[in-house]
Structure formats: C-alpha cells, structure tokens
Chain A
Amino acid sequence: MSEMKITILCCHYTNQATAEDFAGIPAKIEVKRYPCSGKIEVADILRALEDDAEGVLVAGCEKSSCHNRSGSQRAEKRTAAAQKILEEIGMEPERVQMAFVPRLETGVLVEATKRLFETLLDLKSKEGTSS
C-alpha cells in the first residue's frame, strides 16, 4: 500500500514545524508556507488534492492573533468553499480541514495533522468496505 500524503498549507508565522515533528505520523507530510493563511486560495487547496494529497490541512493563526488581523478567518471561509466544491464532485468534505494554531506551538499543529490523518484512515477503511 502506498504511503498516504497529507498537505499542510499554512501561515509562515504560525509554525516552524519540521519533518522531525511529524515523524510520529505514518504519512508523507508536505508543508507549504504562505506569507499569511489569508493568501491561501480555494484553488491552492484543490490543487494539493490534485497533486495526490488525500487530505489538506489549512493552518492559520488563532483568530485573535492573526498577523494581518483577519487572514486566518479568510482562510477558514476559503476552506469551507473548498469543502463545498468537494461535495459537488462527490468527495468527502472532511478531507479538507482548518486549524487555528497558536503561534509557534508546533504540538497543536501536529495534533491537528494527526486528527486529519485519522479522519483519512477512517475514510479509507469505509472505501475498503464499500468496494
């Protein structure tokens, strides 16, 4: 079975997590950093899925501490827009999740990634039973 790929699209300020931090998650973790999570577009999320990610985590600062005031709230709305498109094409919207992460607290980001990983495992097992 090929390794599951998860793409994290996140704010540059949110974290400095490295591959070592994600070592406990048995998946290929790709991190793409943006100047602000408000810069992450719906198309970026969809393209990550196109590029074989099974799930995408959008991570931005906590709502009260966004460097650009409302960037992470914008990211939350774009995540919802991407989820709606996934529904339209028959994909599970929970493949895309939003996480608000305290600045530089890598542990919170890793936990959110683990939750997404577990969601994706769950989806995979359902696929297995329905086919």
Chain B
Amino acid sequence: MIMLSVILIITGVFFFFTATFGLLRFPDFYSRLQATGKGDTLGSLLVLAGLALYNLSNGISLASVLVSVKLLLIAVFIFIANPTATHALTRAGQDAGVEPWTKEDKTR
C-alpha cells in the first residue's frame, strides 16, 4: 500500500515537473498556460490520491476514511476551479490582444 502511494506521488511530482518545465520552455503566453494549467490538475490528483492511500495504510477506520474522502474532495474542487481559472486567463489575454505564437514566426 505504501509502495503504491509512493509511486502515485512520484508520478504526480513528475507531472508537476513537466508543467513547470513547459512554463519555462514554451514560447508564448497561451502555450505556457497550456503547460501549467493542465499538468497541475493531473499532478495534484495523483499526489492527493497517493496521500489518501497513505493515510489509509495506517488502518482503516471511519476517521481515516473521512480524511481520505476529504483529500479526494480537494482534487474534485481543483478539477472544477483549475479549468475555470485557465479559461479566465486565456480570455483575458485574448481581450488584451496578446498575439498567439504560431509555427511560422520562429522569433521568440
């Protein structure tokens, strides 16, 4: 059980890593949002699932199950809030007239 939760957390951290790496590498505002806004959702889901499993490994009782349910509910709220925030940011960028980077202009 602990092994499984460690694997989940490490995979989650890997997705956080790619999200941050993408934020640094990608060329413009929109594609940077692509990397961060999304890598975070799966990353946080995996980390929270790993923590919920780890919490259960000390023995299953009503209290520990409730704590795990709460951890998973955090993931649910992130899944609702994160795309909304990402959408609001892109929309704001669009309204402010930020030009999206395309393959043709290679200048950064």
Determine if chain A interacts with chain B. Answer: no
